[in-house]
Structures are given as C-alpha cells and as structure tokens.
Structure 1
Amino acid sequence: MLYIQPAIFSTLAFASWAAANLVPSPIFKRADTWGGSVSLGPTKSTIVKAVTTIIPGPAPPTQNGVLFLWPGMSNGTGDLIQATLESWQSNSWCGATTGQWCVRASVFGWFGQLDGNPSPVSGSDQVRIEYALQADKNTWLQTVTNAVTGALLSTYSSPSGPYMRGYGTGTECNDNCSGTIAAQSYINTVITLASADTTFGGTIATAGGATYSGLTSSDGGKVWSIASISIPAMSKAPQTTTTSKTTTKATTASTKTTTKANTTGGSGGCSAPQYAQCGGNGFAGCTSCASPYTCKLQNEWYSQCL
C-alpha cells in the first residue's frame, strides 16, 4: 500500500494542488480492510456512462478510523473515478451530524486524490451518482444528486480518458475503522458501453456476502442494468477480500491523505486483484497479480494489475 508523496509532483503542480486541497506535507501509511462488493469487468468495449443510486443506511454513531462507501470505475491509465460517502471521527467538516455521511465526487490516480465539494447525507437518502464521458472523449463528469429532490450534492470533472473497462462497489475501512452498522442498497445501476459486449454480464463477481438481482442487457449488449445490489453490514472484524478494486481516499477539510491499497492473499504470500497497484517508485505492497492478471507499468510511480 502506498501513500503518494509530494515528490511525485512538479513543484508548481503540487503547490497549486496542495493549496486548493489544503494538503499537509506529511503522508502516512494505513491498513485497509473491506466489506462486501459487486463488480463487473473488464469489458471488451469501454464504459461511456455509469449511473447508480445508493441508500447507505446510517453511518456509525462513533467512528474509529475512516469508513468509505463508493461505486468505482477504473481504466488502463490508472485513474479511478469514485464518488465517496465518508464517515470520519467528526464529519462536521461537511456539515454532517451524528449518523450522517459526507459525500463528494473524486478521482484517484498517480497525481493523488482530487475532490469536488462535499455535502452531508442521511442513511435513508437516495444518493444518485452518475459518471459520464463528455463529448471530447477524454473528460469524465461526475454528478452526485439527491435522487428524490434533485438537489446537487457534489460534482467533479477530470481528464481521465475513454478507457474505463471495469465497474464495482467498494466498502472500505481504514485504520481499524468502525464498520458499517446497516446494509447498503444500490438500485437502478445502469452501465452503458461504447459498443455492444454480450459477454460483459458474465464478468460479474461478488464478495463478502454481497448479492445482486435483475442483471439484464439491452441494445444488443451495449447497455447493462442491475436492478438491485445489497451489501451487508460489516462484522466487528471486517475481512479483507480479494475481488474488490483496491484504491481509496482519505481526506478532511484541513488534511488530505492519499492511498492505494492492496489486498493480501493466503498465508503463502500476497497477490493483488484486478485494477490494484502492483508497483511504482517507493511502492511496498503486493507486486504479483492474481491470475490471470499481470502487473503492467503505467509510469515511474505506478503499475497496475490488468
């Protein structure tokens, strides 16, 4: 697992990014564990739009560490598009009260984690998260709204390229966090591909007790829908899974920590799952990938299981 260091950035680029995001210079390692997940991919095509609505259930009334819920979408360049619902020891930085989450659109890559504006949401809220590739075929626009009222909660756009091939949910626990106390529901998930891929549905996978129903396709395999996804509440000691996409974020209004997590395999060693980081300057995590994936160099600082 790696926390991106300021040395990765040019002096000017990092100074600008840090000033905008209130980033301190010290960056620290943390340990992650994972709850249930459902994922699709890789597709033989590419994803051009993905939309889902999450009903998160209440956040833990007290929090040790940091807890994240997110639907994520990854590509071969290493960017992870992920709007996150977050539970910190105090969520007052986004205006949330006890039992509420902070939600914001964000993207993770070799550059670290970049975020849109945050908003508080309650456990019963229906949080609609849409990722859409724009007309330039390079920029991804994230739009997070209240599905019932239409209120805008967060937005972010990033030049992450037209190469998104995998999509999945994440329930992520940093620093021995207080796990989820209620199940999460994802409803009306729709993934649109650039071209038809009739095999895409066969790539669906679950972990950690997660379930789904109503997987269907239309337009000859170009549009894929999942009526509902259920992610169970985490146990007191959440187990690490090897099928979740393993990239995360951790930020507050006054501090920012960026990380790339890797899961461990059995007692015989460790292997990173699809889309996980597997190398890069200063990387200390798993350097081998779970079969059939291989560790592919993206740049000096980042290699990924693809």
Structure 2
Amino acid sequence: MRSFYALIPAAAIVGGAVASTTEESDSWYFGNSMFYLGPPTSGIDIIKATYSIVPPSVPCGYTSPDNEDPVWVSVWVGASSSESSDSTDLYQPLFNWSPNQELQGCPASVSEWCVAASTYTPAEQVSADYVTVPQSTQVDFEISVVDDEVYQVVTMGGKVISKLTNSLDSGLQYLMSSDECYTGSDGACGTLDAWTITNLTVTLSGADEKFGDTIALYGSMTSASLTTSDDGTTWHTDYLDVKLVDFDDTADLDD
C-alpha cells in the first residue's frame, strides 16, 4: 500500500515545520494496525462520517537528539476518493505530538497531544491551528460533504475547537486510519500505545446493503460489527481497536 505522504510528512507541515527529505537520517513510517472502509457500490459516495477518539498516551521509548529537527507522531482517521493515491485530497483531522511541541506549532505540554482539522492536497497540507488535548480527553469528529464542500468539525467537551472547509476534489469512496511517525534527525519514534475509534457512523449518498463487507482490518486490528438499520444508507460500529505500535520494530510497520 502506498502512503499518502510519499513526499513530505503531513503533520510537520500542519505546524509549519517542513522536515528535510534529503537527509537519509530523516525517515517516516506508518504503523500496520489500521482499517480501510470502502468503496461503496458504483454511483454512491460517503457523505458523512462521525466518530470519537481518546488519544493514547504520548509515545514512550523515543529518541530525539536534534531539537530543531525532532521526532513527531500523528494519529488520524481520514476520508478520500482514493485508497492510496497521493494525487487526491485526504480530509484528515489529526492528533500530533512531538518532544518539541513549540516547533510544530502545538501549544500542549510534552505529555499531551494537539489536534487540528487538516487536509492533505497534492500541493500542500491545509490546516487549522493546533489545539491542546488534555490527557484522557475524548475528542469528537465530523467529516461531511455538502454542495461539493467538505466540512471538518472537531469538538471537545461539547465545544467546537477546530474546523476547516475545503472543496471536494471527487466523491469520497474510502475511510481509513493510520499511525504516522517521523524520526527527525537520527531519532526514533519509540512505542505508541493502543487507541480506539468509538461510535463510528458513516452515511452514504444512497443505499448499499453490501457496504459493511468492504471493511478491511490490518495488523491485528479488531472491531465490533458494522451494521445498518436503514437498509444500507447509514452504517455504524461501536468501536475499532488500533493495536500498540513499536515504530522501531519492522514487524509493526506498514510495508
């Protein structure tokens, strides 16, 4: 599977810190515990997805010797018209963490995550400002399509804390998740604890009774059943569990 981030690490751009892609000591990786959902039947698009995440504990066991080119780790769920093309937009509100939070544009302490509505495009990463997420706090997300616009809304404690609107490049066909690691200069991302996506509800533009069969789970990821109560237009699962990822162990990485 080809990464959406074949050229520049996304979360670094969100904070305004573009990582070097010329130094061999700089690398980024993706954990192999992830899900893909889609595509629906021909002529049908994903028009809305809502879900909640309590971010995991911040990474442990990392090394980051260069404070000006530090490690960062990001976790996200995103929607796109493509399964794995870096030539299409990916609407992906994301959590981000780094031992140098300030360099990433994140106001959080080193023991907390930041979150932002964010969109990867082939030309650039477009993002709202990062917002601090206190430890063990649930964050609620909505990605929706209305009149060829994609709206991202991020809510915490009943208050909207981040939002972003972008033009729709093409009908949304896939929903997916990822753990993402950038090593910085001679660094290592260590271990990211398990985390859970809860109350995922996906709304389609029309009924597709087979949409639930399109879910694919990788890297020992598990989930509750994906079910519909309206003959295939709205689909729901109570949880998807993302497993612990050791970014320094190739067995835990996406090829």
Normalised to the residue count of structure 2, the TM-score between the two structures is 0.79
Aligned CA RMSD, in angstroms, stands at 2.4
1:184 aligns with 2:195: yes
Structure 1 range deviating more: 216-225 or 33-42? 33-42
Cα deviation digits, residues 244-282 of structure 1 (max 9, x gap) = xxxxxxxxxxxxxxxxxxxx4xxxxxxxxxxxxxxxxxx
With CA pairs under 8 Å and 6+ residues apart, which has the higher RCO, 1 or 2?
2
Task: Provide runs of 4+ in structure 1 moved above 6 Å.
Answer: none
Structure 1 residue 75 corresponds to structure 2 residue 72: no
SS in 2 for 1:48: strand
Asked if residue 166 in structure 1 is aligned to residue 163 in structure 2, the reply is no
| Aligned-pair CA distance for 1:209 | 1.8
Is 2:132 the partner of 1:120?
Answer: yes
Q: For residue 59 of structure 2, what is the aligned residue in structure 1?
A: 60
Q: Which residue of 2 aligns with 1:276?
A: none
Q: Which runs of 5+ in 2 are unaligned?
A: 65-70
Q: How does 1:87-236 map to 2 (within 5 A)?
A: 87-92=97-102, 93-134=105-146, 136=147, 138-146=148-156, 149-161=157-169, 163-175=171-183, 176-180=188-192, 182-235=193-246, 236=248
Q: What is the letter of the counterpart of residue 21 of structure 2? A: F
Distance in 1, matches of 2:121 and 2:36, equals 20
Give CA deviations for 1:160-191 in whole Å, capped at 9, x if unaligned: 245000001111222242331x2101110000
Q: Indicate the residue corresponding to 1:33 in structure 2.
A: 30
Cα drift, residue 221 of structure 1: 0.2
TM-score, normalising length from structure 1? Answer: 0.66
Question: Against the structure 1 CA distance between its residues 22 and 187, is the aligned structure 2 distance closer, same or farther, given a 3 Å change threshold?
Answer: closer
Letter matched to residue 80 of structure 1:
L
Query: How many Å separate the matches in 1 of 2:169 and 2:205?
Result: 13
The offset of 1:79, in angstroms, is 0.7
Q: Distance in 1 between matches of 2:178 and 2:208?
A: 24
Which digits, 9 at most, give the CA deviation of each residue in 1:174-225, with x for residues without a partner? 2242331x21011100000000111111111111121101321122101011
- Structure 1 residue 90: deviation in Å? 1.6
What is the number of equivalent residue pairs in this alignment? 222
In structure 1, runs of 5+ residues without a counterpart are 5-17, 242-263, 265-306
